[in-house]
Amino acid sequence: MKREEEADDLLIIREVLSGDVGVFRLLVLRYEKAVFSMGMSFFHNREDASDFSQEVFLKVFRNLAQFRGGSRFSTWLYRVAYNTGVNGIKRRKEYRSLAEEDAVPDFDTPEKRTMLVSAREAVRRAVEGLPERYRICVDLFFFYDRSYQEIETVTGYPVNTIKSHVFRAKKLLQEALGDVWES
């Protein structure tokens, strides 16, 4: 499926660059949820995340000719989004992990829902306690399903540093959550 999406992305990009700018909306539709989620991680509210998403897609549209195809389009898009978010939070000095999302699916019993909410809260607190550089790598790796190479492209951290950050973050999370899983 990913190869098909990559090929579709490249085809859409060619069409946009050839003058059919209306098809750009297909890229927006494909990636708007992921970009909005990243905006929520950075800005904590729907209004700012929505503004962030619009800003990201406007930047992508304006700079689409700069995409050379050396990486997947989604990786390039996430790099633009990440840089936009980092620049935005530099003014605010805050970052909140995707693990802090409040959405909880419906369950057939209140007990299951309570267990999920409790587990999610424990994970949120544990991830919140990680150093920012670890949180960003963990978010991109686990919540955005990005490879180490893609995270390198997005963050600018070397691959070995990313691997180290993810490894250390998992250790810290394991330590922080040890009591939760044992009870």
Domain boundaries, the chain: 1-96, 97-183
**Distance, CA of 64 to CA of 17 (rounded, Å):** 8
C-alpha distances in Å from residue 159, one per residue of 12, 116, 122, 168: 30, 33, 29, 14
CB atoms within 10 A of CB 124: 17
Q: What percent of the chain has pLDDT over 70?
A: 85
Torsion of CA 70, 71, 74, 77, to 10 degrees: -60
Please list, in sequence order, all residues whose beta carbon lies within 8 angstroms of the beta carbon of residue 164, skipping any fewer than 6 positions away: none
Split at pLDDT 50, 70, 90, the class of 71 is confident
The CATH number of domain 1-96, selected from 1.10.3720.10, 3.30.1060.10, 3.40.190.10, 1.10.1740.10: 1.10.1740.10
pTM for the whole thing?
Answer: 0.59
Q: What is the pLDDT of residue 124?
A: 75
The CATH number of domain 97-183, selected from 1.10.10.10, 2.50.20.20, 3.40.50.300, 1.10.150.120: 1.10.10.10
Higher pLDDT, 10 or 129: 10
